[in-house]
Structure 1
């Protein structure tokens, strides 16, 4: 298989590193600056396991996407500082251009969207490319879920391993909806251990802003969450996570992309799962639209 990553900045290179260091499969970086792609590939090449036959290389030539089984999009026109939608016009144009190239050179690929605004770009890529909605997957709600689990752990001073069924749905943005109603901690319902959902919800929504008080942007969390999906596809396993996909009636929504629970296998999304929400969660999810 060939795993191609469009964009070789911090996130793209971190995803590439995880794929290569785990001996997953061949990796190609495609970047608008050829030297950047080649440089990251040269560096990460030193992490190839000694017993592995895989390779990694970099280019600015989209025609080298031919044969790609998975394409991960991490490219960005600029860094955002206040809101993920700051550069939305330029980002949409960029993704539409990338969609045309992927459609031309590797029309059978599964596409993992990582660039922001995540849900908007997932939607426009799927519409521009004409790919099956089950093969265009936005990776972000699983990251938000990791952040939700982190704040539950911090609030209750418990290990994250004791937390079950944490989940974040909706947009990857200021209206994301942590799903408290199904969470248990050490076998106990979360609602029996906290007074309010408000503080944790606000902390999860603003996690990226808190992180940016200390470093320029998130990197490793999203890389690991994306790698887990790539790993499942390559190894023909199943993984159940929340991810963004264009909806056609699921959760009562049509013609939008947002994070919902999905099952992913070697062919892309195999199932959109329906879960029970309490009234507050259902109402919050509706407010996104």
Structure 2
């Protein structure tokens, strides 16, 4: 070894300082099953030059970080960081929030909401402090309410704060359609809007395959009069998460792939349309200041537009019911 020189100095002769990451910086807050599935998706899609993980559990953070770092050889160059402190998140283009309290047995949504609001009051100001120009993508449940809470706490314009909403519900709709029709899921089209929950609304009037609307083949599709009981798909969608949790203890992979795709649309400025939890006041006659899912155009600066989707009177009535139920929950929020 040359005197006074280490291996690095002997191996590499610097010409200039390395550039900043060509790809953006992404932060994931919360390294539970959902957060790690999202992180895994982002890494495999090569969406970021730097990925930061933040959680309160320092031991778990270290283990997850090491496990991911050991596999980077198989994907692409990416800087990974993990910390209980938010200073590592500085300059993030996108912050994905998965942290929150789990619902206790017998606990109603209002009690869960109060606990998660307390969590967000600790998270959001830190993200805003270190990344004042970031975009906030909320995944924590109840996602519509928590997206609204994140918007209120952050002080950001609403197009820079949105939730994953019914994107996963819509994916489940297409999956169950593909099973019934025995065709590929990518050839099935339709949206679930409204609340990510029991009051969600399947837009049956727009569900189609190859441009052919199911309602044009069966005018009763999605109603109690339908002998084929397509309406049962909505119950399957609503019950899906409960069933998966019952079987394996939690949900992770589907929401991980879902949020990975939303991050891709945003970071690559693709202007793709997904049903996202966003400010719905002024759309479809909704008068309250409320976050519910509507089809939205997603680009690198957040939500660019909301699609003026055609709804039947029946669908609009159910959307209003969903918005009203969420508004009542919002009003109970201790902000």
How far has the Cα of 1:162 moved from its partner? 2.8
Normalised by the length of structure 2, the TM-score is: 0.81
**Are 1:200 and 2:225 matched, yes or no?**
no
The reply to whether residue 234 of structure 1 matches residue 271 of structure 2 is: no
- Structure 1 residue aligned with 2:162: 137
Listed as ranges, the gaps of 5+ residues in structure 1 are none
TM-score, L = length of structure 1: 0.93
| Contact 2:144–2:163 (8 Å) recurs in 1 | yes
The match for 2:14 is none
Q: Indicate yes or no: 2:68 matched with 1:44.
A: yes
TM-aligned CA deviation for residue 186 of structure 1: 4.3
Residue equivalent to 2:276? 243
Unmatched 5+ residue regions in structure 2?
A: 1-23, 325-335
1:108, distance to aligned residue in structure 2 (A): 0.7
Measured in 2, the distance between the counterparts of 1:145 and 1:212 equals 19
Secondary structure of 1:248's counterpart equals coil
Are positions 1:68 and 2:117 aligned together?
A: no
Q: CA 1:34 to 1:50, structure 2 compared with 1: closer, same or farther past 3 Å?
A: same
Match of 1:282 among 312, 316, 330: 316
1:53 alignment partner, one of 51, 69, 77:
77
Looking at structure 1, the residues matched to 62 and 32 of structure 2 have their Cα atoms a distance apart, in angstroms, of 12
Q: Is the 8 A contact 2:269 2:298 kept in 1?
A: no
* Greater strand content: 1
Q: Distance in 2 between matches of 1:160 and 1:7?
A: 30
1:180 matched to 2:179: no
Is this contact kept in 2: 1:243–1:260, CA < 8 A? yes
**Equivalent pair of 2:280/2:294 in contact (CA under 8 Å):** no
What does 1:154-169 align with in structure 2 at a 5 Å threshold? 154-164=179-189, 166-169=190-193
1:139-162 CA deviation, whole Å, 9 max, x = no partner? 031100001112222333333233
Structure whose alpha-carbon radius of gyration is higher: 2
CA RMSD of aligned residues (A): 1.9
Tell me which residue corresponds to 1:216: 249
Partner of 1:9: 32
